[in-house]
Structure 1
Amino acid sequence: MFPRAITAILLAASLLAGCAVNPVTGERQLSLISPGQELALGAQQYPINQQQQGGQYLIDPALQDYVARVGSKLAKVSDQPQLPYEFVVLNNSVPNAWALPGGKIAVNRGLLVLLDDEAELAAVLGHEIVHAAARHSAAAMSQQQVLGAGLAVLGAATRETGYGDLVNLGGQLGGSAYIARYGRGNELESDRYGMQYMAAAGYDPQGAVRLQRKFVELSKNRQAGGLDALFASHPPSQARVDANLRHAQKLPRGGTSNRIGYQRAIAQLKRDADAYDRYDKAQVAARDKQYDRALSLVREAQKRQPREASFYQLEGDLLAQKKRYRAAYNAYDQALQKNPGLFSNWLKRGLASAQLKNYSEAERDLTRSLRYLETPYAHYYLGEVNEKQGDLKTAYSHYQTAAKGGGQIGSAAQARIEALAGKG
């Protein structure tokens, strides 16, 4: 039998066995994942995704509260108001937003600065709420399982990093987090019902039209830049603009846009725009190995916003690249004081301590990083630290865990396992 025919039979069987009702549209859709499994997956992956993508934005806690209030207004009028919705702003310059199963939703600060008013924010959040309420993730993951594709993975950083090369060893590291890839139908569905949620919550659904128009213009004018991630998961098109226009005409008029309130909410982000611009340019310079220029730029960023931990973490990376480990340790220490809840701050300070041969401190910090995010890097370097301290049994265990991560770090861990076995 031809492979396509086998796939078709498997898909048909799965459709019969695993159909569920879309809670938003009332239509039947493939679902091999139970609602309980879906909720558990979202709850498990939500903190992992946040750690991988820079952690929460801490400079202005009021902005977190504001976005959560807007999201909650929309969630209450959704087709699944009972879901355990959560909304966070991530400290990430890439303009993007995403939803995990169970209503775990995030929006990057890099997207917030592109929006003009609260209605546009409501359009973003309403769209993501529909993905969660309609169980799009469950349907997409079920389809991927049937076709043998597995889960769509938002992967960790692929660039391998040596012990002394800490540049770029940061917010994108860690285990894999699961984010389903949505089809065109899911996107249009989320636009349509998201606009209904907007109207029900008292927002002007024209905000969704303006949002899509903005994205289309950005893509046409090749101004996308960091918008690649957003456009990959939410591709803009004139067809979506036209569809949103048609939907808006059917919805009540007179909803709020609240531009003044929104601009007040993002005022701190706008004040810090120059600082984050320098930080972003410093990262580009670092990737191009222009370390002195990167160091100058990130220190300018620090002067403009001294409370931002990521500026000090990048300074530490650059100093470590220059093998100035004591200065790098001090920079990481400042990053930790400003944000003790981010795994990479603990990981990097631990690596700097190891370079300074402060092995007990290194072990403490590397172990602490694992509380926030399991990474093969932390396990590998804990193995090195334990080995230097003479604790070969514990070192072996950490190397075994690191080896499962694959890639260069996994190969290095496997080499140490074989070396330790040879000693035995």
Structure 2
Amino acid sequence: MFDQQFIADPYPTYRMLRASGRAHWVGDFLGGAWLLPHHADIGPVLRDARLSAQRSHCYSALLPEAERPAFDEFNRLFGMWLLFQDAPAHTLLRKLMNKGFAPQVIEAWRGAVTRTAHGLLDRLPGDGPVDYIGCFAHPFPALVICELMGVDAADQDTFIEWSDHIARFFGNPASSIEVAHRGRDSLIAMTRYFERVVDQRRREPGEDLISLLIRIEEDEEALTAEEVASQCAMLMFGGHETTRNLLGNGMLALLRHPAQMQALQDDPALIPNAVREMLRYDSPVQYLVRLATEDFEYAGATIRRGQMVVPIIASGNRDEARYPDADRFDIRREDTTHFAFGHGAHVCIGTRLALLEAEIAFTVLLARCPHITAPTDHPEWLPNFGFRGMRALPLHMSAQPVAA
């Protein structure tokens, strides 16, 4: 199922899964898991208290038994991420961290995000094809999250490398030992980096997100220094990896639908709706994972305690029973609701920031690069089942001066 053809275009497989039932047992995925491809099942599953988000250990559990003890520290740090917490710990941690992602806080970053987008376009070569992923989609969210967190932008390449290694381990159901080791070492290195930053911010606080989380810790006595560092690692990973793929997948959708791109250039007011359609049409995150804490019946399946349940959110976003003409990319689609940011208590905490980044990115790109074309319609996809994105996307594009 998870071959190169699937990576290039998983949506025919998702259609097949939806047509053949509500729940599918796949024995070689995450050591055995129930796949749920229908939109109608995804929301209820992501709200079901019988399914736990505490599944950080499941990735190292797939490795040979002799390798697993070497991942104890990885599992401990990974398990501290907000993403892997259940109530009541998740509820308290989410409440505290929400303060750093309140609407007014994110809106205050609009100017900085816009300047970052322009700065990257200013550095584009004047002629010839460029790799849009490498020149823009890759560094843009990394630079934004670096500035938001108040860390040195000179370290962005290191953060990108760490994030890529974590994503390859985290996003694949059966990683090689080498991929697992790089993912483990990268998570530990990123966490230790932020522990040093947290220590520095205690002595010299600023107005960045890390300083805010430290102040929350001091006021509420709820976040330890290691918890702050772990959440920073999660935010750096999530803030870069998924937004990069949104910018890449969204651009590819526009290139394959030139009339839609022209409509956005003619009327930039359509961009917010277009971004939501990009998220529905080709989700940067393809599936989520939950762990059954008890036996129960669902969607005609008998789910056993300890089994993985995998709502395929990208399939739900293309479900014909929910969206008319679901495989059509339509920036004017009236219903652009989607599961790309998750659902329920664990909906992505960085949703507002990701939307702001994408809306600004496409506004600036389409204004300053009015003639974008691709020399090939066969981009190089990353070998990742969970995080859908491209390694490279060659484009002919040049940026006009800002005054133009």
TM bucket, shorter chain: under 0.3
Give me the TM-score of the superposition, normalised by structure 1.
0.21
Whose radius of gyration is greater, 1 or 2?
Answer: 1
Whose helix proportion is higher, 1 or 2? 1
